[in-house]
C-alpha cells in the first residue's frame, strides 16, 4: 500500500548514494539550505533529459536562492552516470531509489512498455521542496512523463516562500 510524504512534516530519511561518491539522506538538506529533490524516470526518458537540462541551466538561480538541487531515480549507478554525463549536470545525482521507498513517498510506478524502454519498473516524475529543517514544504507528483511543474513558476514560488515566509499549503 502506498502512502505519500506529508506536507509540513519531516521528509523521510532515505539513504542513497550519489555520483560524487557521497552518501545522501534525502530528508536532510545541508546546514541552512533548502533542497529541491527532482525525481526523474531514468536514462530511457527523453522528457527527463530535457527537464533536467532546463534545471541545469537554472542552477545558478537556485544556488543564489540557497537551494540545493538533487536529482533522484531508480536507475542503478551506471545508468545514472550515463544520464548525468550526457547532460553535463552540475548538481548532485542520487541513484538506486527502491520501488518500496518510492511507494512510501507516494510516487507512481510504471512497468516498462517493452525492453527498448528499460528493463525494470521505475518511478514517474516528482518534485519535492524541503525546508532547511528537512520539512516538506511542497510537492508535485505526476503519473506521466509529460506532466511536470513549470520551473520558472517553481523558482518564483520559492522566492515568495523565502521572502514572505509563505507557509506550507494543503495541510488541512
116-159 per-position pLDDT tens digit: 778 899 999 999 999 999 999 999 999 999 999 999 999 999 99
- 15-164 has which fold? Glutaredoxin (3.40.30)
- Residues 142 and 124: beta-carbon distance below 8 Å: yes
* Span 108-116, average pLDDT: 89
Q: Which residues contact 47 (CB under 8 A, 6 or more apart)?
A: 41, 145, 146, 148
Pairing relationship of beta strands 67-72 and 92-95 according to DSSP bridges:
parallel
Q: Return the pLDDT at 1.
A: 36
Domain boundaries, the chain: 15-164
Q: Return the pLDDT at 4.
A: 78
Q: Return the pLDDT at 119.
A: 85
Predicted confidence (pLDDT) at residue 5 exceeds the cutoff of 90? no
DSSP secondary structure code for residue 92 in this structure: E
In our burial notation (b when 16+ CB lie closer than 10 A, e otherwise), range 42-76 reads bbbbeebbebbeebbebeeebeebebbbbbbbbbe
Neighbours of 132 (CB within 10 A): 15
Q: What is each CA distance from 110 to 64, 74, 117, in whole angstroms? A: 35, 11, 11
Backbone phi, then psi, for 138, in 5-degree steps?
-155, 160
22-65 per-position pLDDT tens digit: 999 999 999 999 999 999 999 999 999 999 999 999 999 999 99
Q: Return the pLDDT at 115.
A: 80
For the chain, give the number of residues: 172
Q: Return the pLDDT at 118.
A: 83
* Span 61-88, average pLDDT: 98
- Residues 26 and 37: beta-carbon distance below 8 Å: yes
Confidence category of residue 172, pLDDT binned at 50, 70, 90: confident
Amino acid at each position: 500500500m502506498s502512502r505519500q510524504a506529508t506536507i509540513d512534516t519531516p521528509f523521510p530519511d532515505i539513504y542513497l548514494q550519489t555520483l560524487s561518491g557521497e552518501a545522501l539522506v534525502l530528508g536532510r538538506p545541508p546546514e541552512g539550505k533548502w533542497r529541491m529533490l527532482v525525481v526523474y524516470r531514468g536514462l530511457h526518458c527523453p522528457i527527463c533529459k530535457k527537464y533536467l537540462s532546463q534545471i541545469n541551466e537554472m542552477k545558478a538561480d537556485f544556488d543564489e536562492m540557497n537551494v540545493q538541487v538533487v536529482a533522484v531515480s531508480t536507475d542503478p549507478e551506471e545508468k545514472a552516470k550515463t544520464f548525468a554525463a550526457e547532460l553535463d549536470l552540475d548538481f548532485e545525482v542520487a541513484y538506486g531509489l527502491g520501488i518500496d521507498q518510492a511507494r512510501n513517498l507516494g510516487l507512481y510506478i510504471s512497468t516498462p512498455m517493452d525492453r527498448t524502454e528499460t528493463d525494470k519498473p521505475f518511478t514517474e516524475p516528482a518534485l519535492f521542496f524541503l525546508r532547511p529543517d528537512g520539512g516538506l514544504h511542497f510537492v508535485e507528483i505526476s503519473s506521466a512523463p509529460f506532466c511536470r511543474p513549470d520551473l520558472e513558476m517553481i523558482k518564483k514560488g520559492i522566492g515568495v516562500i523565502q521572502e514572505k515566509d509563505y507557509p506550507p499549503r494543503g495541510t488541512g
